[in-house]
Amino acid sequence: MRFVLAGLAVPAIIWAQASTSSPDTMRSQMTDSAAKQRDSVLKQAAAVSGKPAAASNSFFTVPWIDPIAHSFNTPPPCDPMEKTALDSLIEKNSKDQGVKAELIRAVINQESGARPCAVSVKGAQGLMQLMPETAAQLGVANPFDPKQNVEGGARLLKQLLEKYKGNVTLALAAYNAGSGRVDHDGGVPAIPETLQYVTQIITKLPKMVR
């Protein structure tokens, strides 16, 4: 899982002090820095969500995630999608795209914990954590809509599996780090996040899907 929120540039000095600062002090420092970006990010949130940007005590409004709270391991401000509805989406897109349902489900669980409002620190959005430009290329108008997000994510997995001739490991590495990086490195990039991402998903998949 890779929650938090794109668009927040927290000064390095704050992180440098993290080991010696109390949680309350760190939260205060981060909040002061974040407040300077409030107006622009609220407008960004409104543009993505289609909802008015309303002032609040929290830096972000749904579907955006409060990075201050999340830095202390607070989950995204929405519940995981109801299992029956999610399974229905997964099965439909598995059939439509020819991608194993277990793989789609594993990516969703790893990426967002099945929370449709999740946003990553790099700006990836929704259940399958699609970057805005990728979502646009896949025809996903609203990445926070579960139906559109899973359709787009399953289509992306299909493209990557075709590119890497069915190699699930490489497809997952490309899903996380980008196919350009996988191609450049000639395999799974030696990026800690990517290595962990691929390992955690692969170990949970049935052998028939790997």
Q: What one-character-per-residue DSSP string does 32-85 give?
A: HHHHTTHHHHHHHHHHHHSS-----SSS--TTS--HHHHTTTPPPSSPPPPHHH
| pLDDT one-digit tens code per residue, 72-116 | 345 667 899 999 999 999 999 999 999 999 999 999 999 999 999
Mean pLDDT over 183-209 rounds to 93
Residues 29 and 97 in one domain: no
Catalytic residue check, 111: yes
| pLDDT one-digit tens code per residue, 14-70 | 333 334 445 455 445 444 544 444 444 344 444 444 444 444 333 222 333 443 334
Mean pLDDT over 172-199 rounds to 97
Of the listed 111, 133, 151, 193, which one is catalytic?
111
Domain of residue 198, residue span: 83-116+127-202
Residue 94 lies in a domain: yes
pTM, 2 dp: 0.67
Q: Which residues contact 72 (CB under 8 A, 6 or more apart)?
A: 23, 27
Residues 63 and 154 in one domain: no
The structural domain count of the chain equals: 2
What is the C-alpha to C-alpha distance for residues 34 and 32, in angstroms, rounded to an integer?
6
Length of the chain in terms of residues written: 210
| Dihedral, CA of residue 31, residue 112, residue 89 and residue 51, to nearest 10 | 10
